[in-house]
């Protein structure tokens, strides 16, 4: 099993605050993806990072893949209530995706 650990597990913040979610592993992945999941629905892809050190921006979200391709972070600037949800990282190796346990984010107005 290629374990991915996410932290924090829960995060409750006020609208306008910044936050960072971490995804760490002892395994090297050929790519890493971040998903967002809302209650009663399946996860939806936010971004894929492939190259070590890669940084991708999606509006207020910034994703980084570690140089060694073992870890990743998701930074949200000026969080909004619409960002509320479960954030999942997933590492890809050998035709399989391995998911972290998720970070449940609640952004209060």
Partner 1 sequence: IAGITQAPTSQILAAGRRMTLRCTQDMRHNAMYWYRQDLGLGLRLIHYSNTAGTTGKGEVPDGYSVSRANTDDFPLTLASAVPSQTSVYFCASSDHGSGSPLHFGNGTRLTVT
Min CB(30)–partner 1 separation in Å: 4
Per-residue contact string for residues 2-41; x = within reach of partner 1 by CB under 8 A: ----x--x--------------------xx-x-x----xx
Residues 6+ apart with CB under 8 A from 66: 52, 53, 72
99 binds partner 1 (CB under 8 A): yes
> What is the DSSP annotation of 40-89?
TS--EEEEEE-STT-EEEETTEEEEE-TTSSEEEEEESS--GGG-EEEEE
Segment interacting with partner 1, rule: CB under 8 A, options 12-20, 59-67, 71-79, 97-105: 97-105
User: Alpha-carbon distance 101 to 36, whole Å?
Assistant: 12
* Residues at the contact surface with partner 1, assessed by CB under 8 A: 1, 6, 9, 30-31, 33, 35, 40-45, 48, 50, 88, 90, 92, 95-102
């Amino acid at each position: 099993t290629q374990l991915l650990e996410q932290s924090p597990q829960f995060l409750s913040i006020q609208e306008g605050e910044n936050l960072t979610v971490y995804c760490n592993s002892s395994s090297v992945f050929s790519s890493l993806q971040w998903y967002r999941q809302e209650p009663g629905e399946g996860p939806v892809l936010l971004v894929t990072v492939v190259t070590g050190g890669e940084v991708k921006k999606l509006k207020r979200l910034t994703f980084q893949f570690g140089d060694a391709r073992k870890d990743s972070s998701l930074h949200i600037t000026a969080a909004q209530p619409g960002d509320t949800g479960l954030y999942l990282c997933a590492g890809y190796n050998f035709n399989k995706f391995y998911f972290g346990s998720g970070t449940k984010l609640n952004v209060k107005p």
